[in-house]
Amino acid sequence: MKNLPSQVQALINQPQYDNIADNIVSSSNIRALCATVKNANPAYWSIDAANQIAGAEIAPAAMLSTWTRPERWSPDRQTEFNSLQLHYDLKHLLDYPSAIISSFESVFHAPVKVGDRLRSHQTLRSISDEKTTRLGRGRFWQIEVQYLNQLNELVGEELFNCYGYCKPTPSRDSETSAP
């Protein structure tokens, strides 16, 4: 990669921010989200039905990232922690005023169950050379977040496609890519 700071180069494929969830997976959060979207799936409303369907009380797959989001304040944590902190670190290290997540993909492995305590880590998987898009001059990067349960089983992965950039300056580059 051209002109990539060594601090950023050193992050590639190195897991960061091993984060153990503040809270266990809770049926109250599950029911609150299911109520919001009017999801009547009995696996989320009846323990009998959940046991019959999945062998345990399970959480909707869509809630994967919910379980490791930190409390807004904790007596044990002195600095603010973002659930996708590596994205903000890269924006800062590369001195980009703006950074977006253009798309992402989630893969769901072992079911997440009520009472699980998940942990997560974030890994920079790739970063591009500088390019110019309609948003401005910047770099694309991919961050993978893995989620594991207390038995060290992989329960899910998320792959974020991101773009950090400076707003365009006239007639600087000709190479253009999406977004």
Positions that interact with another protein (CB under 8 A): 29, 32-43, 46, 48-49, 52-55, 58, 60-63, 65-66, 69, 72, 102-111
Q: Which residues is 80 bridged to in the sheet?
A: none
Q: Which of residues 105 and 129 has its CB atom nearest to another protein in the complex?
A: 105
Distance CA 120, CA 135 (A): 31
Neighbours of 136 (CB within 10 A): 18
The owner of tokens 């659930």 is 83
- What token pair was written down for 79? 């600095």
Q: Which of residues 69 and 119 has its CB atom nearest to another protein in the complex?
A: 69
Least separation in angstroms between residue 126's CB and another protein is 17
Least separation in angstroms between residue 145's CB and another protein is 13
Q: Which of residues 16 and 27 has its CB atom nearest to another protein in the complex?
A: 27
Half-sphere exposure of 115 (CA within 13 A, CB side): 3
Q: Which of residues 5 and 179 has its CB atom nearest to another protein in the complex?
A: 179
